[in-house]
Amino acid sequence: MSGASSVRLLSIPAAAADRLAAATLTDAVSYFNPDAVLLPGERNARGYAAVRTELDGVPAIHPQLGRNGERTSWYVPGEGGLRTADAGTAVETPALLAVQSGGVLADLRAGPELAAPDAGATYLFIPALSVAADRTSLSATLPFAVDVASIAASTDGPLAVLAGGQPAGYHHVWTLPVDTTPAGGRATPSETDSTLDSPTIDVPVVGLGATGEGGAAFVDVACGTDGAAAADAITADGFGLRALDGVGAATEERLADVGCRTRADVGDVAVAELSAIEGLGRRTAERLHAHAEVIETGEPLKLTNEQPVPTQSGRPPLCLDIETDGLSPTIIWQFGVYDPARDSYRAFVERTDPTDPAAVLGQFLEWLLGRHADRAILTWNGNGFDYPQIERFLRRHHPHYIEAWNDLRRYDLYTWAVRDGNALLPGRTNRLDDVADALGYEPRERGLSGAQTAAAYRRFMRRPDDLAAAPDWERHERYCRDDCEALWHVYEAIEAADRRDATDSGSGGASGRQSGLTDF
Amino acid sequence: MHDNDTRPTDGDRLLETFPRAGLGPDSASASVLTVPAREADTVPAGEVLDPILADRYPFELYSHQAAALRALGGNEHVCVSTSTASGKTHVYGLEIARRLFAAGVLAPDGTRAADRNERATALCLYPTKALTNDQRDALDSLYDDLGLDIRVRVYDGDTPTAERRSTREEADVILTNVQALNVYLEHHDRWSRFYSALELVAIDESHTYTGVQGMHAAWIIRRLERVLKYWGGDPTYALASATVGNPKAHSETLLGAPVTVVDDDGSPQGARDVVLWNPPPRDRSDGPAANDGMPTGDGLPTTDNGSSTNDGARADDDGVADRVPASVDAPKVFGHLTASDIETLLFCPSRKLTELSVERAKEHVRGGPRTYGERATTGIAPYHAGLGRRTRHARETEFQTDALRGLATTSALELGIDIGSLEATVLMGYPGQRQSFRQRIGRAGRGTDHSLAVLVADHRTLDQYVVSNPAYLLESDVEDAVVDISNDAVFASHLLCAADEIALGTDDLGSFADADRLRAGIEMWRRTGKLEGHPEAAVHYTGPPRPQTDVNVYGTDGDDYRLVLAESVDRDRWSLPEGLDLEPVDRNRAARDYHEGAVRLHGGQQFEVVSVEDSRPTPVIELAPVDVDYYTRTRTDVNVIEADSEESRTVNGFELHFGHGTVLVHHDAYDRVSVGNSETLEAGLPTGTEPIEMETQLCWIEVPKSIEQTLVETYRAYGVETGVAPDAADPPHLGYVAGLHAAEHATIQTAPLELRVDKGDLGGLATLVLDSHYAAEDTSGRDTDTTPEDGSPPESLRAAEHAVDARQRQLDGPPASGWFIYDGVEGGLGFARAIYESFEALAARARDQLRECGCGRPNGCPACTFDENCGNDNRPLLRASAVDVLDLLLGEASIESFDAYDPGREAGGETRRPALFYS
């Protein structure tokens, strides 16, 4: 639950809510603990009903149904979640305006329903709104832009749009002209065009994922008083029984057949009984069972005797994290290295010339090779990102270091644990921050995603001499340090974890919990 | 059999000895062109190459090879545009060797000086995998002969994973195809050694990069250039092309850089006789006997022993509206030549026809004992991909060793495969492009030997044009290859790939693409969420991984239909290869060519479309192989709305426009046509497909008022002559608009004579109410008429028709009339543009064909006015009116010479005219 200064919304497409198991919805609601649940996409009464049964006092918002002829509704924070409000109520918190469809907005412009409850910020939920892109004319338009702009101009505080039909993870600030000229058409770089005569208004648009394609995802939207909506998506497979390693739709059904609907149920059942289920072998059943325990307790389990990092001199690995300006990097602008042996942290940051990736890379490598060539290096997904990126930049700028770089002992904890299946981790996703969080790690710095960090550096890149555009270097360094220390925290937790053999015979009655500890 | 006086490969000899009455060197239905021999023009290798290489090369260089090598040596990009077998591979093969010596990778004795090559590498691109393998062999064998240790490797989808890394790290020369390169650019850092050392990029068969494929190739090359710049490579490009009309413009558009053209062919060529053979007329109403004992699919015998169908005896005033198809006549020629011990290839459009042709050829020989004696009819066999490797190999060898005298083949033998020398080629129908024609006849005659080529024409526009205008084939001015990069939808998909490969920056503005266009594309994708950032910092790709796999080099839209074999098909029974290489098709082509019930040829094998699933995320079309005696032909109904003129010019009073617009197409019905004799077996079967709305490029011509009024008057009395039923023959404008319709058909049909275009890539619409098709002035600020609120296409073309009709009311005065020609692919292909530029030339050819056609019918025939895809069933059409319009356009007639011309007539006497338009 949130305070007066922000509202927490959870979104799941209505069609998905209809399909997902009850346990999944229960799990997600209890995990996210939202002030309200939005159901974007096509109207689906069953999905709406399914979500309502999970909620206690917190509203499920599905305006597509048009209950009681309502086409628009206002919601403001109240005790235990959002509550409906009349137009004109004065609050200083964010408020949610839910409309049945974009077509309603035109009427809203003129009508009394627009009188916003004097809100801090307004969040406009349009259940099926999606951006119309036309590649043949290189244009992308926001439907109902005229109406949205007009409404945004007339509300007191800022306005942001929650677009049901945009993919989860979509976030773009649209600069919309206010007045009768239609927005869209051939795209012009209007954001930097200061010669525009007509007034414009900036409206952030956040996607809720009801696109009809791809797997369903829960989108967690934090709505602040500043009109900024931060959204985070976690696939439905991270909840309920599907959160268990190896459980898909078919297995979920078969588990339900034997009375297992929740992870707790799975934990209560003996492994032997699980492996008797069609399609589940001994190994898979063991894993499921173990994973249920892991998520429940928040304690990881190792499934092997192997070490993530073969120890040589008894010294722990250096924990490395890098920051770039995006996914096709033009620069690695920060290298952060945490040394658990001395609890010390060293950062290499490019703060002056973002067009020169060679300098900071060279400094990092010289330090690493000069002082720590004998240490092991650990990353999270280094194999997928950090190492290939470093190698690419070395090839381009310092090719003489390639051989020495390749001689270093480099490891990737994500590969070891998740891809190679050597451990079971708590956390609903495999992102480092989720895993570390589930293992009890408390970061120094909250509220900055990797994407935001990259965006902040890109702003700096556009105007490197403008002090006002300079990033908060200290903050970014703390963020990077957090990643490194989170990595260390996860590593330690795995090192200390109990070992559970995947083929442990173990016996337990139907009512007893299978502990799974072995004597090996 | 061999006469001592004339060579067996003499064209005249064929005409004299072939058993058909009235056929001879003076016959009206066959003519012989003599192509003189060409001597080689050579230069000693030492004049162009350093001794270190020249001393090893055993031949003299042809003049064009020398010129190309000189230019490449000066780091100029080169396009060698000469005939096949003129040694183009050696041009880039030698250039590669030269650079390896210069870079010190090869020691003077030809061995490797450095094991790892980080100085001079080369990339060779081919349009197909088969060609890639052939050329690897060719280069290997060249370097063997020269004694040079150069590592030539193929890297494509067939390369085993285990070999990929070593190839990237060790090869000097890598051969691949353009589609594969598209995908490999994604992980270009693995290629850093190769790219940083890249000195030469060879693009072979570059003339094939036109239309859709050409657009994609052009963008892939531009993306390659970005990647190369990143790693420090700066290669010179060597393009090897067949002869096209515009090698410089084409190459420069492909590369985005200046190119030196070398097109003076120094290779030798033997003299050749080209026989243009028009099969005898056939009159359907006379029944089978007069129709030359027309064979059906089960191969009833035909005889040709001087029966009623004699050739040339029918006077022109009878008019020839139809002829025996080439599929019937060509095998006879083939049989005749092979029975005369002449090694011959017969080119057929399908596997089925290769088999059928061998049977017919044998029948012909058996049926002519007086001419052929008791010759065995063995010695000829079919050749196509369905035969299996062993059989094909055996036949190649047998042909080389003279055990087989003749092969009836599909286009499989147009390129590459060595079957030794042969003396004659017979073509079943004109292959549509002079380049293809020359490539096929070029298979015969090696070096300086005399050879024979026989083109057996079909009764359709292009073929008939060619036989009526023999000089056309010999014109050195060849069709233009059109590649156009203005299609924004294609640009948009490559933009994402480029951003994924290397973040976009200010360097790209004006180099990867025009700055405004780049910014517009970036902004669109930013709004859609697939790109983020600004060029001044960096623009990154943030969409789903591997956008390169969304690029289909054969289509323009992301929503392409995949073509797959239906589940139940037994591959072995049909001898279908494992990788049935069916590329996805865009929705317009899917609707036109792959509706349910369509029968298409692929690799010579017939396939029927058994189901179309457009509901899934990736739409799918299922095919099953069949063996039927018909093929299908789709009928297309068309309308044009929202046409917006961007450029215009005046030609003899006519206003010619080029611009963008929306075309509505409905491929609503199809016919079944017999393979054996091209008769329509069943007509008007429904396809069940929905209309499609396409934004594309168009060119159109507006007839000036005075001319229109005069022609309307002149042809006022024409009604049923235009082919319509009597009850529809009333409207006074009918004769005139029938002429526009015929002119539209003719200009599209003859476009391939000027441009390398497939007629199927174009569409057209003739209309009496041109202005109604224009984009309306935007007064209300809202979309008008035809487009429903949610942007979906109109329910039917009927709705669009009503809209066009209604639009008339909004016009200030009566509309003009004319016709449109548009690119049949979303976003356009550049053909409409090319037609706009060369409209006069096109109009001249169309007018010639219309005027000179021997059919004698007012509404024309398949050789002059008919279009097989006409949505209005080829009516109304009127030849004479069309000829007049075109003559006036070309300035070869003047309006004053018309009786009906009346300068005093009031303009705009009519308030409204019928909204007549025909596609």
What pLDDT, on the 0 to 100 scale, is given for residue A91? 67
Tell me: do A72 and A164 sit in the same domain: yes
Helices (H) and strands (E) in chain B, counts: 26, 29
* DSSP helix/strand/coil, A224: strand
Q: Give helix B734-750 / helix B705-714 axis angle, nearest 10°.
A: 110
Tell me: do A325 and A392 sit in the same domain: yes
* DSSP helix/strand/coil, B623: strand
| Cβ–Cβ contact B545 with A under 8 A | no
Residues linked to residue A201 through DSSP beta bridges, in sequence order = A176
CA neighbours within 13 Å on the CB side: how many for B265?
A: 20
Alpha-carbon distance A453 to A446, whole Å? 12
Alpha-carbon distance B336 to B346, whole Å? 12
In a domain, A141, yes or no: yes
Domain end point (choices A196, A217, A235): A235
DSSP designation for B58:
-
Tell me: do A176 and A133 sit in the same domain: yes
Q: How confident is the model at residue B242 (pLDDT cuts 50, 70, 90)?
A: confident
Residues linked to residue B241 through DSSP beta bridges, in sequence order = B81
What's the mean pLDDT when you consider all of chain B?
A: 84
Chain A: residues touching B (Cβ < 8 Å) = 131-133, 135-140, 142, 166-167, 169-172, 174, 180, 182, 186-189, 192, 207, 213, 325-330, 354, 388, 391-392, 395-396, 454-455, 458-459, 461-462
In this complex, do A461 and B527 lie within 8 Å of one another by their Cβ atoms?
Answer: no
Q: How confident is the model at residue B3 (pLDDT cuts 50, 70, 90)?
A: very low
Alpha carbon separation from A195 to A141, A182, B4, B523 (Å, rounded): 21, 18, 88, 18
What pLDDT, on the 0 to 100 scale, is given for residue A221? 94
B829 in Cβ contact with B695 (< 8 Å) = no
Query: B494, B528, B551: best mutation site toward chain A, by most A Cβ within 10 Å?
Result: B528
B48 in Cβ contact with B67 (< 8 Å) = no
Tell me: do A95 and A230 sit in the same domain: yes
Alpha-carbon distance A390 to A270, whole Å? 47
Token pair recorded at residue B729: 């023959």
In this complex, do B520 and A395 lie within 8 Å of one another by their Cβ atoms?
Answer: no
Tell me: do A244 and A337 sit in the same domain: no
Token pair recorded at residue A80: 């235990």
Domain that holds residue A289: 239-299+510-519
Instruction: Return the closest-CA partner of residue A13 out of A54, A64, A47.
Output: A47
Alpha carbon separation from B698 to B762, B764, B916 (Å, rounded): 10, 9, 19
Count of C-beta atoms within a 10 Å radius of residue A138: 24
Tell me: do A205 and A247 sit in the same domain: no
What pLDDT, on the 0 to 100 scale, is given for residue B816? 87
| Mean pLDDT, residues A332-337 | 96
* DSSP alpha helix (H) spans, B690-787: 705-714, 734-750
pLDDT of B908 above 80:
no
B295 in Cβ contact with B325 (< 8 Å) = no
Q: How far is B693 from chain A (nearest CA, A)?
A: 12
Tell me: do A252 and A380 sit in the same domain: no
ipTM score of complex: 0.88
- How big is chain A, counted in residues? 520
B86 in Cβ contact with B139 (< 8 Å) = no
* CA-based R_g, chain B, Å: 29
Alpha-carbon distance B411 to B415, whole Å? 8
In a domain, A311, yes or no: no
In a domain, A345, yes or no: yes
Token pair recorded at residue A3: 């305070």
B788 in Cβ contact with B794 (< 8 Å) = yes
- Quote the distance between the C-alpha of residue A361 and its chain's center: 29
CA neighbours within 13 Å on the CB side: how many for B78?
A: 26
Q: Report the amino acid identity of residue B351.
A: R
In a domain, A505, yes or no: no
In a domain, A312, yes or no: no
B41 in Cβ contact with B266 (< 8 Å) = yes
Alpha-carbon distance B224 to B174, whole Å? 14
Residue numbers of B between 669 and 698 with CB closer than 8 Å to A = 695
Q: How confident is the model at residue A1 (pLDDT cuts 50, 70, 90)?
A: very low
B855 in Cβ contact with B620 (< 8 Å) = no
A309 sits in the region (left: phi over 0; alpha: psi -120 to 50; else beta) called beta
Alpha-carbon distance B423 to B444, whole Å? 5
In a domain, A503, yes or no: no
Q: How confident is the model at residue B414 (pLDDT cuts 50, 70, 90)?
A: low
| Residue B325 preceded by cis peptide, ω within 30 | no
If you search the block for the tokens 């603990």, which residue do you land on? Answer: A33
The CATH number covering residue A433 comes to 3.30.420.10
Q: Which residues of A touch B532 (CB under 8 A)?
A: 326, 455
| Mean pLDDT, residues B800-807 | 76
Q: Which residues of A touch B513 (CB under 8 A)?
A: none
* DSSP helix/strand/coil, B533: strand
For residue B575, what are the contacts with CB-CB under 8 A and spacing of at least 6? Answer: B386, B387, B388
> Looking at per-residue confidence, does A453 or B784 come out higher?
A453
How many domains would you assign to chain A? Answer: 3
pLDDT digits 0-9 by tens, B740-788: 999 999 999 989 888 878 777 888 999 888 887 887 654 443 333 444 4
In this complex, do A131 and B527 lie within 8 Å of one another by their Cβ atoms?
Answer: yes
In this complex, do B523 and A455 lie within 8 Å of one another by their Cβ atoms?
Answer: no
Tell me: do A229 and A243 sit in the same domain: no
In a domain, A481, yes or no: yes
If you search the block for the tokens 């319709």, which residue do you land on? Answer: B741
Alpha-carbon distance B499 to B223, whole Å? 9
Alpha carbon separation from A222 to A8, A123, A210, A225, A454 (Å, rounded): 5, 11, 18, 10, 20
Domain end point (choices A235, A258, A273): A235
* CA-based R_g, chain A, Å: 26
* DSSP helix/strand/coil, B27: coil
pLDDT digits 0-9 by tens, A49-86: 999 998 888 899 999 998 877 888 888 888 878 888 87
Q: Where are the beta strands (DSSP E) in B603-711?
A: 605-613, 620-625, 630-651, 654-674, 680-686, 692-703
What pLDDT, on the 0 to 100 scale, is given for residue B101? 95
DSSP assignment string, A20-87: S-HHHHHHHHHHH--SEEE--SS--HHHHHHHHHH-SSSPEE-GGG-GGG--EEEEEEETTEEEEE-T
Q: Please, what is the Cα angle at A146 between A143 and A150, to 5 degrees?
A: 135
Q: How confident is the model at residue A439 (pLDDT cuts 50, 70, 90)?
A: very high
What pLDDT, on the 0 to 100 scale, is given for residue A310? 82
pLDDT digits 0-9 by tens, A364-410: 999 999 999 999 999 999 999 999 999 999 999 999 999 999 999 99
What pLDDT, on the 0 to 100 scale, is given for residue A4? 55
Tell me: do A222 and A289 sit in the same domain: no
> Looking at per-residue confidence, does B909 or B236 come out higher?
B236
pLDDT of B219 above 80:
yes
What pLDDT, on the 0 to 100 scale, is given for residue B279? 92
Tell me: do A247 and A119 sit in the same domain: no
The CATH number covering residue A295 comes to 1.10.150.20
* DSSP alpha helix (H) spans, A298-384: 357-372
* DSSP helix/strand/coil, A209: coil
- Quote the distance between the C-alpha of residue B580 and its chain's center: 22
pLDDT of B888 above 70:
yes
Tell me: do A394 and A356 sit in the same domain: yes
Domain end point (choices A235, A259, A282): A235
Instruction: Return the closest-CA partner of residue A461 out of A320, A346, A359, A329.
Output: A329
pLDDT of B531 above 90:
yes
Tell me: do A201 and A246 sit in the same domain: no
For residue B159, what are the contacts with CB-CB under 8 A and spacing of at least 6? Answer: B167
Most confident of A292-301, B362-371, B383-392: A292-301
End-to-end CA distance of chain A: 45
For residue B651, what are the contacts with CB-CB under 8 A and spacing of at least 6? Answer: B839, B840, B889, B891
In this complex, do A135 and B781 lie within 8 Å of one another by their Cβ atoms?
Answer: no
In a domain, A144, yes or no: yes
Most confident of A252-266, B326-340, B372-386: B326-340
Q: Which residues of B touch A328 (CB under 8 A)?
A: 499-503, 538, 540-541
Count of C-beta atoms within a 10 Å radius of residue A228: 16
